[in-house]
């Protein structure tokens, strides 16, 4: 039976092939466009944060010679550290500013002059005198941090055309800052304070060291609790648990817990850990336990996937030479699955590092200046520190927030890159 002319059939076939190839090309174009949009948005986010973070990693400094007057520091020449610690170092800084600008004599103008430098300036002089008491009665050149507003002026973040009440600096203060810069006594350098100090009400004195320490201690508690429990639960469910309705119910609940919002774990920590067990509020111990509960389902799922990926022939070969079930698991299955387990653990720790909501619920939003020295002391973590700074009205905290965000993103990228390297380095192809 003839169904049609051969030429017509070939033409229809070619037309269908052209349409199919065109659809495939459109699909590829859509996929490439989607990837391009995602990469572009990611680049926009990084550039947006990075442009602000660059300013946050830098600080404006003013160089001033300070006369360490014995009559102010140690009038009795006792050399007692307790006497030196109680001296009026703020008076020395003010005297240095008056010496630098001798024409400023009015009390109101002197008050504006003193606000050019940070409130941390007396602390720097005090630390120097306690470390080098032999410099008393001598002149020492100090490099003080400027105030937040002078720092913003030096970085070009203040419009000079605005009225004084809007820009936050008077005309005299701007003139003094310009005079210091013209004589190379005002310069911008790397902000040591950002990485070496705790939080502060003044942006130029605020740092992330306390938050970084709190994050490290909290993650240590999280890892020490979640890793052994997660691996043990995964081994039991995958290798020893009978397949019945109870284990199925447990597996379903583990999968559901992995999707529970993190704030729920914070409420659990508030109700159980703090109110019932009485753990210290805002401590790395409480925060680590809450994050361990949150990451445990994810770690169990990742560990089970890694264990199930080990070929059955490994187990059969071990059993064939007389190994017990426990020896098969501990000596063969778990070591071979360890790269995948570690990868899942690192990804879980990275998620825990970036969490804020559950820690806010247990009070880790406290204002922490000192670096915590124990797991039960009050502490904060880096995401919460970013949250606090983002809510601060001072202009300088905008750059500090972006800088802290870049530090947090750097740690997250490092942790995820480590997981990828471990997987590629130790993963076996069966």
For range 162-186, the mean pLDDT: 89
| 82: pLDDT strictly greater than 60 | yes
- The residue-averaged pLDDT of 120-145 equals 92
What values do phi and psi take at 301, rounded to 5? -65, -45
The pLDDT of residue 173 is: 92
Q: Distance between CA 212 and CA 406 in Å, rounded?
A: 13
Q: Are 408 and 356 in contact (CB under 8 A)?
A: no
pLDDT at 404: 92
Average pLDDT of the chain, as a whole number = 89
The pTM is what? 0.83
Confidence of residue 426 (pLDDT cuts 50, 70, 90): confident
Q: What is the pLDDT of residue 77?
A: 85
pLDDT category of residue 46 using cuts at 50, 70 and 90 = confident
What is the C-alpha to C-alpha distance for residues 44 and 375, in angstroms, rounded to an integer?
Answer: 38
Average pLDDT (99-122) is 92
For residue 27, CA distances in Å to 18, 31, 34, 40, 273 come to: 14, 6, 10, 20, 52
- Helix pair angle (334-353, 284-308), 10° resolution: 140
Can you give the C-alpha Rg of the chain in angstroms? 31
pLDDT at 1 over 80: no
- Confidence at residue 394, expressed as pLDDT on a 0 to 100 scale: 82
* 92 neighbors 66 (Cβ within 8 angstroms): yes
Cβ proximity of 300 and 292 under 8 Å: no
Please say if the pLDDT value at position 430 is more than 70: no
Segment 290-316 mean pLDDT:
91
In sign, the C-alpha dihedral spanning 396, 399, 403, 404 is positive
Is the confidence at residue 98, as pLDDT, over 60?
A: yes
Q: What share of the chain is helix, strand, coil (3-state, %, to 5)?
A: 65, 5, 25
Share of the chain above pLDDT 70, in %: 97
Q: Which of 10-14, 89-93, 228-232 has the least mean pLDDT?
A: 10-14
Tokens encoding 332:
């063969």
Domains and their CATH numbers in the chain: 57-190 (no CATH), 209-426 (1.10.3720.10)
Helix axes 284-308, 245-257, angle to 10 degrees: 120
The 10 Å CB-count burial string (b at 16+, else e) for 73-99 is: bbeeeeeeeeebeebebeebbbebbee
Looking at residue 5, its pLDDT comes to 62
Q: Is the pLDDT of residue 281 over 70?
A: yes
**pLDDT tens per residue across span 388-416:** 898 888 878 888 999 999 999 898 888 88
Residue 235 pLDDT greater than 50, yes or no? yes
Residue 429 pLDDT: 65
- Its sign, for the CA torsion 275, 278, 282, 284, is negative
């Amino acid at each position: 039976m003839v169904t049609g002319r051969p030429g017509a059939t070939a033409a229809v076939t070619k037309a269908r092939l052209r349409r199919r190839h065109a659809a495939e090309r459109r699909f590829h174009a859509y996929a490439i466009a989607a990837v391009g949009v995602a990469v572009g948005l990611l680049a926009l986010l990084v550039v947006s944060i990075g442009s602000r973070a660059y300013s946050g990693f830098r600080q404006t400094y003013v160089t001033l010679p300070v006369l360490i007057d014995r009559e102010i520091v140690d009038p009795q020449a006792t050399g007692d550290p307790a006497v030196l610690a109680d001296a009026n170092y703020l008076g020395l800084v003010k005297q240095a500013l008056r010496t630098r600008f001798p024409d400023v004599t009015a009390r109101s103008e002197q008050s504006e002059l003193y606000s050019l430098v940070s409130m941390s300036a007396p602390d720097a002089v005090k630390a120097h005198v306690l470390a080098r008491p032999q410099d008393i009665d001598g002149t020492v050149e100090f490099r003080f941090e400027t105030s937040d507003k002078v720092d913003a002026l030096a970085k070009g973040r203040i419009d000079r055309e605005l009225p004084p009440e809007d820009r936050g600096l008077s005309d005299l203060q701007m003139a003094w800052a310009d005079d210091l810069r013209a004589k190379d006594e005002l310069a911008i350098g790397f902000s040591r304070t950002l990485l070496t100090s705790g939080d502060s009400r003044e942006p130029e004195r605020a740092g992330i060291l306390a938050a970084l320490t709190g994050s490290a201690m909290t993650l240590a508690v999280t890892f020490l609790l979640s890793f052994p429990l997660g691996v043990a639960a995964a081994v039991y469910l995958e290798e020893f648990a009978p397949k019945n309705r109870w284990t199925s119910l447990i597996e379903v609940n583990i999968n559901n817990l992995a999707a529970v919002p993190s704030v729920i774990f914070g409420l659990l920590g508030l109700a159980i850990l703090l109110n019932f067990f009485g753990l210290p509020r805002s401590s790395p111990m409480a925060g680590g336990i809450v994050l361990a509960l949150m990451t445990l389902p994810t770690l169990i799922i990742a560990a089970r996937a890694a264990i199930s990926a080990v070929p059955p022939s490994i187990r059969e070969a071990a059993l064939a030479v007389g190994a017990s079930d426990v020896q098969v698991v501990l000596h063969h299955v778990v070591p071979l699955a360890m790269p995948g387990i570690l990868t899942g653990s690192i990804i879980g720790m990275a998620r825990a590092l970036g969490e804020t909501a559950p820690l806010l619920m247990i009070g880790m939003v406290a204002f922490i200046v000192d670096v915590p020295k124990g797991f039960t002391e009050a502490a904060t973590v880096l995401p919460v520190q970013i949250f606090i700074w983002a809510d601060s009205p001072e202009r300088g905290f905008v750059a500090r927030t972006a800088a802290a965000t870049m530090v947090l993103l750097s740690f997250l990228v490092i942790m995820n890159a480590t997981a990828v390297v471990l997987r590629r380095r130790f993963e076996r192809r069966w």
